[in-house]
Amino acid sequence: MTSKTPSPSSEPPSFNLSRSLQYYFKRELVPLLADLRLAIFLLLAIAIFSISGTVIEQGQTQAFYQENYPENPALFGFLTWKVILTIGLDHVYRTWWFLAILILFGASLTTCTFKRQLTALRWFSRTWNFYSQPRQFQKMALSAELPQGSLETLIPLLQRQRYKIFQEGDKLYAHKGLIGRIGPIVVHAAMLITLVGAIVGSMTGFFAQEMVPSGNTFQIRNIFDAGPFAASQIPKDWSVKVNRFWIDYTPKGTIDQFYSDLSVLDQAGEEVDRQTIHVNKPLRHKGVTLYQADWAIAAVRFRLNNSPTLELPMAELETGGKGRLWGTWLPTKPDLSDGISVVAKDLQGILLIYDKEGKLVSTVREGMSTEVNGVTLAIAEIVGSTGLQIKADPGIPLVYGGFGLMMLGVMMSYVSHSQIWALQTQEGFYIGGKTNRAQVTFEREMIAMLEQFTEGSAQAAPESALHPGTQTQASV
C-alpha cells in the first residue's frame, strides 16, 4: 500500500488490495517463478528428496523402523525411527512437503512455459533481419571478409546444406534447424499436459484389487484408492466371471506365465466380452482395466472313498517370508476325530499330506489318489484364485498425449538452429554465421564452406585467405 501515487481515498479498500496483489503477482511472484535459478534449484531439490525415498524403506510398519533405526545408536547421529516417522521419510513421495515442492515446481514450469517459452515464439513474427553493415559481422565468432565471393556462389553452397535462404538485394540471410528452437517449447508444454493428466487421473480415477477363485463372479468393490470425483468411474452395471485361472510352468519348474480367462457379464448375466489376460496383456471394458497382478490357491476339490466331489477352502500359511504355502485340514473319520493336513505350494498339482503328528505321510498329484488313514483320497482339482488389479484412470489420454509430445519435443530439441548472414559491398564480401547448439560441427561446416569459396577464387588470389598460417608461421 506504499505506492508512490496514493490512490484516492474514495476507492474501496478491496480494490486497493486486489491492485497490490496484482502488482505483487506481476512484479514479484512471476519473475521469481520464471527465474531459471529457482527451476534448477527445484530440479535438484526434487532429486535429492527422491534419493531419501530410495534409501529408506518405504511404507513399512512402525515396528520395522523401530528395529532398523534405533534411537541408540542413531544412524548418522540423528536418523532415528522417530525422526523418520515425524518427517514422513517412511512415505516420502506422499508427504506434504514433497508435494509442496512438486506444486512449486509445477508453478515454476507453468510460469516459465508462458513467460519464457511461448514468448520465444515471437521469433517467428519478426521480419528477417539482414545485416547491412560490415561491422555487424564483427561480433560473430565465425565471420570472414573475403576478397572474392558473391551471393551467387554462396547460394548453391547453402542450398546443398539445406538452408532456407532469404535474399534482399546485396543482403542474404539463411537458416536451418528451426525446429530446434520450437523443441524446448513443445517439451515444456508437454510436461504441463502430462501434469494436468496426472492431476485429472488422481482426482477421478480409482484403484481396486480383487482376489477371485476360478469359477466365481465378482463386482468391483474392494477399492483401496479413489479420487474425490471417482464415483462415476466405478462400474455398477457389469460384473466379471473368472472362468479359469492357471499358471504355465517352464520345464525347470519356474513360472512361465499367469493366465486368467475372464468374461464380462452385463446386468442380465449375459456375456458381453471374453478374454484371456496375462501379465502385460490386461482386459479393458468401459474405461476400466483389469490387470493380472497376483495369485493364490483358493480351495482343493477331492473325493473320499465313494463320496461326491467335495471342496474345502485352503488358507495361506505363515512362513515368515520363506515362500508361499497354502493348507487345509481334511477329516478322515466321520466323527472328525482324525484327519490330515493338506499343503500345496503352487498350482503344479502336487499336494503334500501330513498326519496329525505333522509327519509327511504321502504326496499326491492332481487327478490321482492315495491311501491315508484307511481311506482313499482322490484329488480332483486344486483351485487357484486370480489376483486382479483393477484401475480406471480418465487422465491417461492426457498423460499419453503429453508423453507423445514430450518425446517429439526432446528429439526436436537436439537439432541445432544455424543462421548465416552475408553481405556484398564495394569493399568486399562479408559472411558470418552462428548456431545455438552444435558449435563444433557448425564451425567445421562453416570453415569448409569458406574454404570452398577461397578455392574457387584461388586462381585470382594465390594467397588463401583461410590459410594465413603458412605465411605467418615463419615469423613465430
Partner 1 sequence: MDLVSLQGWLDNASFAVLFLTMLLYWAGAAFPKIPYLQILGTTGMAIANLCMAALLGARWIEAGYFPLSNLYESLFFIAWGVTAMHFVAENMSRSPLVGVVTAPIAMMITAFATLTLPAQMQSAEPLVPALKSNWLMMHVSVMLISYAALMVGSLLAIAFLFVTRGQNIELKGSSVGTGAYRHVPYRLQKYGETVMTAESARASVEVASNEGAMEGLGNTAVLASPASSTLSAAAALPLSPQRLSLADTLDNISYRMIGLGFPLLTIGIIAGAVWANEAWGSYWSWDPKETWALIVWLVFAAYLHARITKGWQGRRPAILAASGFLVVWVCYLGVNLLGKGLHSYGWFF
Query: Which 40-99 positions form the footprint of partner 1 (CB under 8 A)?
Result: 40, 43-44, 46-47, 50-51, 53-55, 58, 93
Q: Greatest CA span in the chain, whole angstroms?
A: 119
Residue 266 or 463 having the CB closest to partner 1: 463
CA angle 395/399/404 to nearest 5° reads 150
Question: What string of DSSP letters covers 418-454?
Answer: EEEEEEE-SS-EEEEEEESS-HHHHHHHHHHHHHHHH
* β-bridge mates for residue 166, sequence order: 173
Residue 28 or 225 having the CB closest to partner 1: 225
Binding residue for partner 1 (CB under 8 A) from 274, 286, 365, 444? 444
Q: How far is CA 224 from the centre of its chain?
A: 22
Q: How far is CA 52 from the centre of its chain?
A: 19
Does the footprint of partner 1 cover residue 229 (CB under 8 A)? Answer: no
Closest CA to 355 of 340, 342, 337: 340
Does the footprint of partner 1 cover residue 267 (CB under 8 A)? Answer: no
CB of 318 to partner 1, least distance (A): 21
Binding residue for partner 1 (CB under 8 A) from 13, 367, 397, 469? 469
Q: Which residues ranging from 146 to 165 are in contact with partner 1 (CB under 8 A)? A: 146-147
Binding residue for partner 1 (CB under 8 A) from 155, 325, 410, 458? 410
Q: How far is CA 173 from the centre of its chain?
A: 41
Does the footprint of partner 1 cover residue 400 (CB under 8 A)? Answer: yes
Does the footprint of partner 1 cover residue 123 (CB under 8 A)? Answer: no
Query: How many alpha carbons lie under 13 Å from residue 387 in its C-beta half-sphere?
Result: 6
Binding residue for partner 1 (CB under 8 A) from 125, 280, 337, 459? 280
Per-residue contact flags (x/-) with partner 1 for residues 291 to 330, judged by CB under 8 A = x-x-------------------------------------
Does the footprint of partner 1 cover residue 441 (CB under 8 A)? Answer: yes
* β-bridge mates for residue 209, sequence order: 389
Residue 332 or 435 having the CB closest to partner 1: 435
Query: How many alpha carbons lie under 13 Å from residue 475 in its C-beta half-sphere?
Result: 4
Query: How many alpha carbons lie under 13 Å from residue 92 in its C-beta half-sphere?
Result: 16
* Residues near partner 1 (CB under 8 A), total: 87
Asked whether 14 and 20 are in contact (CB, 8 A), the reply is: no
Does the footprint of partner 1 cover residue 37 (CB under 8 A)? Answer: yes
Binding residue for partner 1 (CB under 8 A) from 60, 150, 161, 389? 389
Residue with cell 499358471: 247
Residue 328 or 386 having the CB closest to partner 1: 386
The cell numbers describing 274, all together, are 471374453
Query: How many alpha carbons lie under 13 Å from residue 304 in its C-beta half-sphere?
Result: 15
Listed ranges 20-28, 141-149, 304-312, 332-340: which one lies at the site for partner 1 (CB under 8 A): 141-149
Listed ranges 274-282, 307-315, 362-370, 377-385: which one lies at the site for partner 1 (CB under 8 A): 274-282
